[in-house]
Amino acid sequence: MKLNVKAFALTCGLIWGFGLLLITLWIVLLDGSMQAVTFIGRIYRGYSLSITGGLIGLAWGFFDGLIGGAIFAWLYNLLSPKNKS
């Protein structure tokens, strides 16, 4: 079975981007905004535990998930026929 690279990449990008946004909003609603640098803030420039930082994380996460999903699906399609023989 082959994966559709574009669909898989878009799905990964949306899940990672909106997942990061939802987790950020959850933390902000429970604990309030914080300007402390987090691990994700070191990777994604501009990200912080705030609503604005969550939107920046959404953009970074979408493109990160998009690229990662495309690479994963491409490698899966490349290697899957070799496993059947």
Please tell me the predicted confidence (pLDDT) of residue 61: 95
Note the Cα 34 to chain centre separation in Å.
Answer: 21
**Whole-structure pTM value:** 0.84
Domain ranges (residues) in the chain: 5-79
Q: What is the mean pLDDT of each run of 10 residues along the chain (85 residues)?
A: 94 97 92 79 89 94 97 94 63
Residue among 17, 11, 24 nearest 73 (CA)? 11
Distance CA 19, CA 57 (A): 10
Please tell me the predicted confidence (pLDDT) of residue 84: 61
Please tell me the predicted confidence (pLDDT) of residue 36: 74
Please tell me the predicted confidence (pLDDT) of residue 7: 97
Please tell me the predicted confidence (pLDDT) of residue 83: 57
